[in-house]
Amino acid sequence: MPACGGAGSDEAGPAGSVRPPSRPTPEQQARAAALLTGPDWYRHAVFYEVNVRSFQDSNGDGIGDLPGLVSRLDYLKDLGVDALWLMPIMPSPFADSGYDVADYRAIEPAYGTMADFERLMSEAKARGMRVLIDLVLNHTSDAHPWFQESRKDKTNAKANWYVWSDTAGREDIGCGTNGSTFGDSAWELEPAREQYYFHRFYPGQPDLNYREPEVAKEMLDTTRFWLDKGVDGFRCDVVGLLFETATSCSLVPETIEYIKSIRQIVDGYADRAMVAEPVELTNATPYFGGGEDMFHMAFDFAYGYFWGIAFASGDRRIIEEAMATASAFPAGAQDALVIGSHDVLRAWQTAGNDAERYRGAALLQMTMRGTPFIYYGEEVALRPGAATPIDIRDTSRTPMTWTRDGAGHGFTTGTPWLPFGEAPGDTSVEAEDADPDSMLSFYRSLLALRRGHAVWGSGSSRLLPLDDRGIVAFVREDEAESYLVAVNLAREPREGTATASLPGRGRVVLGQGSLATAGDAVTVKLPESGYAVFQLRP
């Protein structure tokens, strides 16, 4: 019975596992540069979500800023990051962590100036890195000058720029009677106008009225403004909610047509990309349209927000369902893969404080069909915090820790705007950089494994239906190469067999396990909470 095992020139990892070199070879870097050029660059990129406020403070005020981010670009480049997604950087009273925009064409003063942003763009470009910004289209802050004018009376120039009603509800807005996402009512009384305004989220976030032509035009002009600034695209916040009808507020026909108009603008600039935040949690298919007329990417919450259930239950069903849904996306569509974000628990919590589960989840994210998005600090398994000045999501938005010691742990020389999470010294970049078995070392090796290999970004994917449901296994392949990825969701060793044809015997290039074939039978063995990537060809 043929079996695979040897590591070749790869490094030895924890407990005898195989780990590829922590840095890609010059040949890999050259291939990556070619893949990251042209309109399909985003398929082969590794993205990194940056909460600017919590990443690096440059002036000692305790708040992260754009100059601070610039100072850490070399770290991100060395990690293997190709593109940044910046959480909102526009002026905001911060009632919802910047997702309450007060000016669409300026920079939040706490983060710096437009000149600082332009320097960030220049420095990122010099390193071959791209930058996407968060575009919050559905609503503004109630501090926005547009709303300040609209709320005055029923006859001002912007009276119709927001959604108003004489009562706390309207028959033509089906979701308006179900409460807001963050409260009991989606309607707030404005005494000066003697009317109620609609807010799908916090009361400080009034919804824009896209049935007003001037609003629709203004927001399209805003996309052009930032594209002219050189941004490489947008992450579009809750973009399915722009228009409302009597029966639905989610991706109604008018919203779909408006998204298509944004895509037309984006396509007028070379090599730009858009990623959607779907309102739906288990199927992003509607956000792709025909595959080339809506979003380039959409977040895969079916895996990203529910992978913890699969690991906790030891059953791969949820992961398989997410992969099956993604496999049916239209041609041209790309999954955007996460294991956490600013809206949910830190991945460390979702993994049940289990480092091996954490590694398994990250491995799946980096090898499933799609484009991975790392949430800042995931590469060091940043722990959650306890303070919640705005809401519970603040626990996953604590500052990055760079050094073992010091009150500010390298993030700030002052008092951090939000207290650090658990074990800030142990999960600092300094501490993990010195440990070859750390999560940071694992991430570096994982990203080095991907580097310059087109198969991970655009290759096909097929499940290997092992008879042990505790093991999720799939094959990624293209004309040049083929890999089998296997992850054990259980806390004990597992073995699974399936009837399948593989293009080669394979060898372990990451992790620990065995792969054996006998006729058309394929058997995979993994240690408890173990994982392995087998290179099948060349």
The catalytic residues are 237, 277
Q: Which amino acid is at 283?
A: N
446-451-456-459 Cα dihedral, nearest 10 degrees: -160
Residue 141 CA neighbour count, 13 Å, CB half: 19
**Which stretches of 147-296 are assigned E, i.e. beta strand?**
164-165, 187-190, 195-198, 233-236, 273-276
Contacts of 319 (CB under 8 A, 6+ apart): 303, 307, 310, 364, 472
3-state secondary structure of 321: helix
Strand order in the sheet with 494-499: 494-499, 521-526, 514-518
364, 368, 374, 378 alpha-carbon torsion, rounded to 10°: 0
Contact 297, 277 (CB under 8 A): no
Q: Across the beta sheet with 164-165, what order do the strands follow?
A: 164-165, 195-198, 187-190
Residues 6+ apart with CB under 8 A from 386: 395, 419
Residues 6+ apart with CB under 8 A from 98: 53, 87, 88, 89, 90, 92, 108, 134
Encoded amino acid at 463, one letter: L
| CA distances, 243 to each of 25, 164, 173, 248 (Å) | 49, 14, 9, 9
What is the number of other CB atoms lying within 10 angstroms of the CB of residue 5? 15
CA atoms within 13 A on the CB side of 46: 28
